[in-house]
Amino acid sequence: MRFYDPDGTEYGIPTYPKRLAPDGLAAPVRPMTPGRWRAVHAMMRARRTCPDCQVTFNHVIPTSLGCCPGCADSPVALAA
């Protein structure tokens, strides 16, 4: 089989046909496109934005609270 040389005896380093490469070696096949980065950033920003006060933080909103600590501490202010 062409290029099948897992021991590196023929080419000096282990070489594989792409579909037979061990996990990890052939992982980064799909490059991140600007569109995919936009989706990732939008998702990250959503996770950092409080659904109650709409403030975007530098850290993600605790999923256990469902809102920022400020809103979690003052639910009365929201009701007002």
Q: Does 68 bind Zn ion (CB under 5 A)?
A: yes
CB of 16 to Zn ion, least distance (A): 51
Nearest distance in Å: CB 7, Zn ion? 59
Spatial contact of 56 and 45, defined as CB atoms under 8 Å apart:
yes
The DSSP bridge partners found for residue 15 are: 5
Q: Does 72 bind Zn ion (CB under 5 A)?
A: no
Contact map string, positions 30 to 59, toward Zn ion, x by CB under 5 A: --------------------x-xx------
Computed over its alpha carbons, how large is the radius of gyration of the chain?
24
How far is 52 from 75, CA to CA, in rounded Å? 10
